[in-house]
Amino acid sequence: MISTTTKTSSKITFDFHDGETILTEQLSKKPLKIVNPKSQKKTAICMLTNYGGGFVEGDTIALKVLCKAKTTSLVSSQANTRVYESNGIPCRQSLQLSLEENAFHVFFNDPLVMHEGGSFSQENTISAGKNSVLLLIDWFSSGRTANGESFAFHNFETSTKIKYQEEIVAWDNFKITPKDLNIHSPGNFGKHTSFLNLFLIGDANDKRVKHIEKALFELDEKNANNEDYLSNVTRTNDKTLVGRYSTEKIIVLTKIMKQLSTVLADDSLLGYNHLDRKY
């Protein structure tokens, strides 16, 4: 198990008052900075950024997010998160995310970019209450591929553990140390350099879950003929749907996320297009 414990954590708390979701607690601990852009009434938004433009040697971030009952919220990032060269001391990040009853939350970060010599580990611990729905997007790029940098980092490790009403419904672990692998062999990554994991958590009969699930399968089919794109969208149990995406060029994943953001703009979900607002 990855250990990312720190003495203090950054905090975000969303609450529901007078028919709208509002931010009631915000605490940023360096190097993380949290901003709360003005939004429409339904959805509360927080954007994550970094004082140094990315992770440098030994940086540690711990973030706790609480979505109280009936809230509709989104946490995203200002831009790609970059992990720079580390001389033996890894950078670490932990996310503790809790959804109370009937909360709807989307965690929609930009990709993590592993620069040459970087070392990074993260741990996501998530708890979802009754009738809550979560969409978690977690993706990374193997480097500044447009500049020819690919899999030049030291180590990347991630763990995601998700409970729904105290029952473990997903536990996903991934670790890659490029120097120990024949990275570009067909049995490993081939030509692909960008990867995305998507977790949709909630009761399979919930209308919001059905709406997103249907859209994910449609998007998967729509993009299936792209030779640079591999994907698998699977319902693993009645509370969990997992999407895996792999591409040679990160722009392919970016286009898919833009398509997904359009789906989330439905009034029954976020009620606005996050990426339209962002860009």
| The token pair that represents 202 in the structure block | 């909630």
Is 246 within 8 Å of 192 (Cβ atoms)? yes
pLDDT tens digit string along 43-102?
A: 999 999 987 778 998 899 999 999 999 999 999 998 899 999 987 789 999 999 999 999
**What amino acid is encoded at 163 in this protein?**
K
Q: How far apart are CA 276 and CA 279, in angstroms?
A: 6
- The residue type found at 59 is D
CA pair distance 83, 53, nearest whole angstrom: 9
Q: How far, in Å, CA of 217 to CA of 220, rounded?
A: 5
pLDDT at res. 1:
38
Given CA atoms 248, 249, 253, 259 in this order, what sign does their dihedral have? negative
Would you state the pLDDT for residue 141? 93
Q: What is the pLDDT of residues 25-44, one digit of tens each?
A: 999 998 999 999 876 668 99
Question: Which tokens in the block code for residue 31?
Answer: 């190097």
Rg from Cα positions in the chain: 18
Phi-psi region at 100: left, alpha or beta (left = phi > 0; alpha = psi -120 to 50):
beta
Report how far residue 138's alpha carbon sits from residue 278's, in angstroms, rounded to the nearest whole number.
18
Residues ≥6 apart with Cβ < 8 Å to 256: 219, 223, 245
Is the Cβ–Cβ distance between 200 and 137 less than 8 Å? Answer: no
- pTM across the whole model: 0.93
* Residue 200 to residue 212: CA distance in whole angstroms: 8
Low-confidence ranges of the chain (pLDDT < 50): 1-7
**Contact present, 73 and 47 (Cβ < 8 Å):** no
- Supply the pLDDT for residue 3: 43
64 φ/ψ angles, rounded to the nearest 5 degrees: -110, 125
